[in-house]
Amino acid sequence: MLRLSTAQPDFDKAFARLVRDRRESDEDVAHDVARIIEDVRTRRDAALVEYTNRFDHHSLGDPDEWAVSPDQCRAAFDDLKPELRAALELAAQRIAAFHQAQLPADRDETDEVGVRLGAKWRAVEAAGLYVPGGRAAYPSSLLMNAIPAKVAGVERLVVVTPTPNGKVNELVLAAAHLAGVNEVWRIGGAQAIAALAYGTQRIRPVDVITGPGNAWVAEAKRQLYGVVGIDMVAGPSEILVIADGANDAEWIAADLLSQAEHDPAAQAILITDDPVLADTVADRIGVELAMLPSAKVASESWKEHGVIIEVASLDEAPALANALAAEHVEIATADPEALFAQIRHAGSVFLGRHTPEAVGDYVAGPNHVLPTGRRARFASGLSVLDFMKRTSFIALDEEALKAIGPAAIALAEAEGLPAHARSIEARLGI
């Protein structure tokens, strides 16, 4: 774990190194992924069979081994314990309500010279949703991806999820039923992304692919952008906690580890103006790790990538937070709004001492698929807009064309495009 202080002479250099640390895939991963993508594009189902057997130790022999039927998903949902079913339903309801409010409005208006202008929003026809199934299986991720797509109006929702050693996560299947997923394919990794992008003999291609995954999945999405749309290229999880001295060190330590347990490459950072809290949280991390079943992963993450930054005043925190542009930012202070007003770059912000990031992962409502690796500088979390596209339209009558056509002719001629000009001149009788 790295300890920094803004008072130390070399802080700027040390902090700059922290900001530059991407913790993401290297050139070897990119090369391997490119090979897998081309293989799936060329050999299609045969390549999926080979990679699934090699990486997941699962045979795609019979049709039942390729896909999970809707009846199986319904049975998984029906078999849930009542309290777990209620929790999934609450999460689904809150996610749907939040994303329903994101739906954009169509435009249709006529301006002062009689030109009709507007735009219509339409959902893509098919969306592919990646749900991890290796290190952990996340039904919450399925809900966070499928429900916005459903709200947007996507007709065909296709889930791909690896099933290591042939084991299917029943909770993921239950979430698929609840979210109205149409297809669930038992494949994962870069090969699943390639199958969704290009299609195979069994799997029809989709228009957009969303959802988190490992470095190979993220790299496959990056390489296939343009063949299909993607939500983002996501890297390891991140949390930044800004906390004053009035916090309970146990709470803050638990919050930091809530992201560290995702992945050894995940990063948890604490910024505080209280040296006592900094020391106490550092000590408490060890206590919390001793109680966590996920301690092996969380410990490696904290040891290799954990950071505590001491500042003279929390007034310094927003500038540091904006440079880090973290996926999750908690502001655990007496007046979080004052700092929040200065946070320009963050995937999602959690305000106040009683708003742990973990509640946002499940039941708050906003999406937990968020930009990582400083991409919050230019990207947003998953929304209904990731499953929609806007088509603009224009309508002119003769008088409207007379009003603006000559200017278009002048610009076309200036650009050396006489056929553009001629198409307007012909209508104007010039």
From CA 82, how far away is CA 318, in angstroms rounded? 43
Instruction: Report helix, strand or coil for 374.
Output: coil
> Is there a contact between 272 and 308 (Cβ–Cβ < 8 Å)?
yes
Residue 6 vs residues 14, 67, 272, 326: alpha-carbon distances, Å: 10, 54, 11, 19
Q: What is the DSSP letter of 59?
A: -
From CA 20, how far away is CA 28, in angstroms rounded? 20
Question: Which amino acid, one-letter code, is at 20?
Answer: R
Q: Which of 327, 330, 357, 368 is catalytic?
A: 327
From CA 210, how far away is CA 231, in angstroms rounded? 5
Question: Which amino acid, one-letter code, is at 61?
Answer: G
Question: Which amino acid, one-letter code, is at 385?
Answer: L
Q: Is the pTM of this model over 0.85?
A: yes
Dihedral sign, Cα of residue 70, residue 72, residue 76, residue 79: positive
Lookup result for tokens 């390489």: 223
Q: What is the pLDDT of residue 25?
A: 64
> Is there a contact between 91 and 80 (Cβ–Cβ < 8 Å)?
no
Could you confirm whether 58 is annotated as catalytic?
A: no
E-only strand ranges, 145-301: 156-160, 183-185, 208-210, 229-230, 238-243, 267-272
Residue 211 vs residues 17, 38, 89, 223, 368: alpha-carbon distances, Å: 29, 21, 20, 15, 10
From CA 277, how far away is CA 7, in angstroms rounded? 17
Per-residue pLDDT of the chain (430 residues; tens, 9 = 90+): 899 999 999 999 999 999 998 777 666 899 999 999 999 999 999 999 999 999 999 999 887 789 999 999 999 999 999 999 999 999 999 999 999 999 999 999 999 999 999 999 999 999 999 998 855 678 999 999 999 999 999 999 999 999 999 898 999 999 999 999 999 999 999 999 999 999 999 999 999 999 988 889 999 999 999 999 999 988 899 999 999 999 999 999 999 999 999 999 999 999 999 999 999 999 999 999 999 999 999 999 999 999 999 999 999 999 999 999 999 999 999 999 999 999 999 999 999 999 999 999 999 999 999 999 999 999 999 999 999 999 999 999 999 999 999 999 999 999 999 999 999 999 999 8
Could you confirm whether 112 is annotated as catalytic?
A: no
E-only strand ranges, 56-194: 67-68, 107-110, 116-123, 126-130, 156-160, 183-185
From CA 26, how far away is CA 169, in angstroms rounded? 30
> Is there a contact between 128 and 206 (Cβ–Cβ < 8 Å)?
yes
Phi/psi zone of residue 218: left (φ > 0), alpha (ψ -120 to 50 degrees), beta?
A: alpha
Parts of the chain belonging to CATH 3.40.50.1980:
2-22+235-364, 27-106+124-230
Q: Which residues, listed in sequence order, are joined to residue 309 by a DSSP beta bridge?
A: 4, 271
Lookup result for tokens 């290190």: 135
CATH of 27-106+124-230, one of 3.40.50.1980, 3.30.450.90, 2.40.50.100, 3.40.50.720: 3.40.50.1980
From CA 365, how far away is CA 94, in angstroms rounded? 5
Q: Which of 328, 345, 357, 368 is catalytic?
A: 328
Q: Of 345, 282, 348, 336, whose CA–CA distance to 309 is shortest?
A: 282
CATH architecture of 2-22+235-364: 3-Layer(aba) Sandwich (3.40)
From CA 430, how far away is CA 358, in angstroms rounded? 67
> Is there a contact between 265 and 301 (Cβ–Cβ < 8 Å)?
yes
Residue 412 vs residues 80, 95, 135, 235: alpha-carbon distances, Å: 65, 48, 57, 45
* Residues 6 or more apart whose Cβ sits within 8 Å of residue 212: 130, 132, 138, 141, 234, 369
Q: What is the pLDDT of residue 63?
A: 75
Residue 64 vs residues 59, 74, 284: alpha-carbon distances, Å: 11, 16, 48
